[in-house]
Amino acid sequence: MIDLHCHMLPGIDDGAVDLKMALEMARIAVADGVHTVACTPHIYPGLYENNAMGIRRGVAELQGRLDARGIKLRLLAGADVHLEPGLCESIRRGRVPTLAGTRYLLLEPPHHVAPPRFEESVFELRAAGYVPVITHPERLTWIEQHYEMFKRLAENGVWMQLTAGSVAGHFGKQPRYWSERMLDEGHVHILASDGHHPERRPPVLSEGREAAARRVGEQEATHLVVTRPQGIIDNLPPEKLPPPPLPASKGKSTGSFWKRLIGAQ
């Protein structure tokens, strides 16, 4: 399995606090069947002032520590990015990293407040050639009031990433409900651990994968943790990867909203 969202780099955000904890998280991931992890610390202006150069340096250093201890885990660089003015330019200039240098970008919405122009801002990233991957939408306190927006995004080229622990029920009833609904309706592209701590938020994918398999089947569960994550690493365009399965009663989306926006570019 491949985990494309983990806060494993020591001491640079609210994830691992030191090397000891980072190594423990790495061992947990390997024991769970994960062979590749994207280290994705927050980039949050005013709180976590990380940048691509520092993240890549941290990944290389931690990879060396893993290799020296025989921990068979491949690390990739990325970031859990918050929307800010000029984000596209920051990516182009190399200050903000995409996932493993690909067209795919982890984008974290604010947890409690729907930001103004969120949909338009995400579309601007998409129009610039990036594929935003929205992290843990199921855990946002405002998803109920804006669920139709997330559906539109998912149906028009924006990827959705659920936290495996949400699907497994570790974050409570509401995140589990939205996880299951999004899976059932075919709006989920990948699962990730969003690991922060070896005990409170361990980097574990298997429980979420198994819970997802009970709803969408074994093949789609494998797509969620292997096929599409590997496609991201290989920088394949989304259309070259298997789409989430549509419910039997649902026809194809016309995508008229996005077609109008694209036509206006």
Cα–Cα distances (Å) from 82 to 132, 150, 171, 208, in that order, read 11, 17, 22, 25
Q: Which residue has the tokens 């990944």?
A: 59
For 190, the enclosing helix (H) or strand (E) is strand 190-192
Q: Which residue has the tokens 């299951």?
A: 180
- Give the number of other CB atoms < 10 A from CB of residue 128: 13
Rounded Cα gap, residues 29 and 117, in angstroms: 37
For 262, the enclosing helix (H) or strand (E) is helix 256-263
pLDDT in tens, the chain (265 residues): 999 999 999 999 999 999 999 999 999 999 999 999 999 999 987 788 899 999 999 999 999 999 999 999 999 999 999 998 899 999 999 999 999 999 999 999 999 999 999 999 999 999 999 999 999 999 999 999 999 999 999 999 999 999 999 999 999 999 999 999 999 999 999 999 999 999 999 999 999 999 999 999 999 999 999 999 999 999 999 999 999 998 865 444 434 343 333 333 3
Burial code (b: 16+ CB inside 10 Å, e: under 16) for 143-168 equals beeebebbbbbbbbbbbbbbbbbbbb
Domains of the chain: 2-263 (3.20.20.140)
